[in-house]
Amino acid sequence: MRARSIESVTASSPAHKPEMTIKQSLIDKLHDRSAVIGIVGLGYVGLPLCVRCIEVGYQVIGFDTDPRKVSALLENQKYIEHIDIETLSPAGKSFQPTTDFSRSAATDVIVLCVPTPLNSHRQPDLSYVIGSVEAIAPYLHQGQVVSLESTTYPGTTEEEVRPRLENRGLKCGDEFYLVYSPEREDPANPAFTTQTIPKIVGGSSPACLEVGQAFYQSIVETVVPASSTQTAEMAKILENTYRAVNVALVNELKLVADAMDIDIFEVIRVAATKPFGFKAFYPGPGLGGHCIPIDPFYLTWKARTYNVATKFIELAGEINTQMPDYVVSKVITALNDRKQATRGAKVLVLGVAYKKNVDDVRESPSLVIIEKLLALGADVAYSDPHVPHISKMRKHNLAMTSTPLSAKRIAATDCVLIATDHDGFDWTMIASHAPLIVDSRGVYPSGSANLYRA
């Protein structure tokens, strides 16, 4: 069945409808794709979700507080490199971006895909979640389902989201529905898409779970039900804490291997030949991205409210946080071995995105490394084919432009620091002309006189 145009949707629904009728009516709309989907937060999570919902036949309204994003989408301009926004063209009538949250009244499903950062005290900052909930709450209506996808501590959906929605006067599980379904995006990874990544869904009630499953089953191949929103929230924290702890372990082993003059990347390569009981994790200059460096601290904060210590997680965070300092120390050592001071040295940082082949610099350790080198008096430039400019951010006040790479540019540096191993770099050219390389990603095999592992 063809989806309705957004303009034809009204928020009206008969008062005092029996719960089963309300629920079944919404499920029917999801089955025939006549439901209108509202997605709050048009970033790395929200935009791919918009694309997928349109692909399966839904009408979508995209909400964001940033008018620049809305304007870019209205003009069919990309602001996230790897996301194809062709299907989001407003000319197609299936997608309408807006900053007007009153239009959430015209939706049947509202999905919250907003940031959950840490504050300056490394405590959860739920201001984006709470702000989004309070923006849509006045327009909540019968037969609507709200899904929170932002990574957060167990209990957020029930303790922070549900009460604010129920203040509208509607009863959760009877008149509207609430679920938690954590995002699992892996930006720029073609092997896993919004459609193919299994989706966990936990509901505030059995009816909420049923509705949540009906929605997500319409856009993804596999839905994994959880017994509660808290279980789903905890599962997401577990996924990211697992990665953070294992990266911390291999980062610490890198320090040990370096002291013993052993190539940790070779160690991992040969260890990974074991067909069972081992999963390869790789060291780097520190953790980046919006999830792995942040999410474990949401759990440690919540655990403290139960008087439970999370020493293992906090130690892992400490190790990962110290890695930029280790990389900077290796730059200092490498220059010192060449009888050159760090102050005044020309250092070219390759890659400022937090991982290869993306344009995302959130929590990137490269930014910390640049700031520390600048503080030491180094003459720092960077090159990144995915990040042409670094703008002022919440934690960083850098204003830099990417330097084009050439043999002449490489040869003119005192030290090339590999911070992100983008496939777009010409590694052969770099190795041929760099007078000194500090490699934090294991791009080059050890043994070269001008190569330092970091």
Token pair, residue 443, equals: 């791009």
Closest CA to 351 of 362, 367, 335, 363: 367
Q: Which of 50, 172, 291, 415 is catalytic?
A: 291
Asked whether 437 and 454 are in contact (CB, 8 A), the reply is no
Q: Catalogue the long-range contacts made by 78-85 (C-beta closer than 8 Å, 24 or more residues apart).
A: 80/43, 80/44, 80/47, 80/359, 81/188, 81/358, 81/359, 81/386, 82/187, 82/188, 82/357, 82/358, 82/359, 83/44, 83/47, 83/48, 83/51, 84/51, 85/47, 85/51
Asked whether 362 and 395 are in contact (CB, 8 A), the reply is no
Question: Active-site residue 50, yes or no?
Answer: no
Report the C-alpha gap between 13 and 170 in whole angstroms.
13
Report the C-alpha gap between 39 and 120 in whole angstroms.
28
* Residues noted as catalytic: 291
